[in-house]
Amino acid sequence: MQGNCLFGWDATWRKWRKILVNAEGKLIIDPSEILEDVPTDGEVGKAPTSNWAHDHAADPSAHHVKTTSAEIDHGSVQGLGDDDHTQYLNIARHDTTTRHPLSVLDPAVCSEAEADSKIATHAANPSAHHTKTTSAEIDHGSVQGLGDDDHTQYLNIARHDTTTRHPLSVLDAAVCSETECNSKISTHAANASAHHTRYTDKEACDAWHARSEVLNAGSWHNLNLGSYNRVYLLPITGNITIYSILEGYDGQKIEFVVPVSSYTITIQHNYTADGSGRRIMCANAANNTIAAGHVAVFSMVYYSSQWIMSQVVS
């Protein structure tokens, strides 16, 4: 540098140009060319003055308290989905065969060659295999879990026993509704020809006593008394012996009356030789005999495939 000037290289015109400087060698410039007191929107060629910068720094409303890292929630930060940490593995960088050689896997993981070797060793061992079981060899009753509800497409008791599964629409046409039943009963009750006059007590007793039989003599095996409820024993031509009586119905009762006896009457106890006849079990567990000249009454009740005889009253 010579005197009070400085040369600078003009790259545009490719030549040296003289630049004015003061005695100290500092550039002599017009501050108004680069500084302004009030910033102008769009002005990029000038800088603010020290006064303007001071006014800005002194204005409390122009600043806010600096935010600390403790006040920032990680989830609220923008760009969380961006791949900003390439030093770590994401799915694309992880899911590659080069990242999973055998050397970095658990020793329990074997290679394809090791697996082939083990399979070949197992296949060559005859004691390691059994004959394949066929479906014909499996009995359904031996299968486990038969009581489990594995077939929910079918009805079990719980799914079947509901009123919703049995509307009239799915029942036999012979089944009537409560309304239909009430209607039929009403129709029947209103039909005078569908009823008869009720028996009096005397008429009922007369009808019951009318079903009677008379035995005069003989040995009776498989005696058929049908629906009789009273039997008159009148041994006027010979002795009467009763060995067995044909089957009755549980609760059926027959009354035996001996109004006069010219001969002996015998009831055999527990006689089982007759095929279709039912045995008579006497109350005294022995044969019952009513001697000639006696008047007597006794009864028999059918129960559990046998006739049970009461004590003889004479």
- DSSP per-residue string spanning 169-189: GGS-TT---HHHHHHHHHHHH
In a domain, 167, yes or no: no
**pLDDT for 201:** 73
Give the amino acid at 73: D
**pLDDT for 32:** 65
Collect the ranges in the chain with pLDDT lower than 50: 1-2
User: Do the beta carbons of residue 275 and residue 255 sit within 8 Å?
Assistant: no
The dihedral over CA atoms of 241, 208, 188, 172, expressed in degrees to the nearest 10, equals -20
* CA distances from residue 123 to 95, 133, 134, 282 in whole angstroms, order as listed: 34, 18, 21, 82
In a domain, 237, yes or no: yes
In a domain, 258, yes or no: yes
φ/ψ region of 310 (left if φ > 0, alpha if ψ in -120 to 50, else beta) reads: beta
State which residues form the domain around 229. 211-309
In a domain, 84, yes or no: no
In a domain, 236, yes or no: yes
In a domain, 296, yes or no: yes
Number of domains in the chain: 2
**pLDDT for 266:** 96
In a domain, 23, yes or no: yes
In a domain, 220, yes or no: yes
**pLDDT for 170:** 86
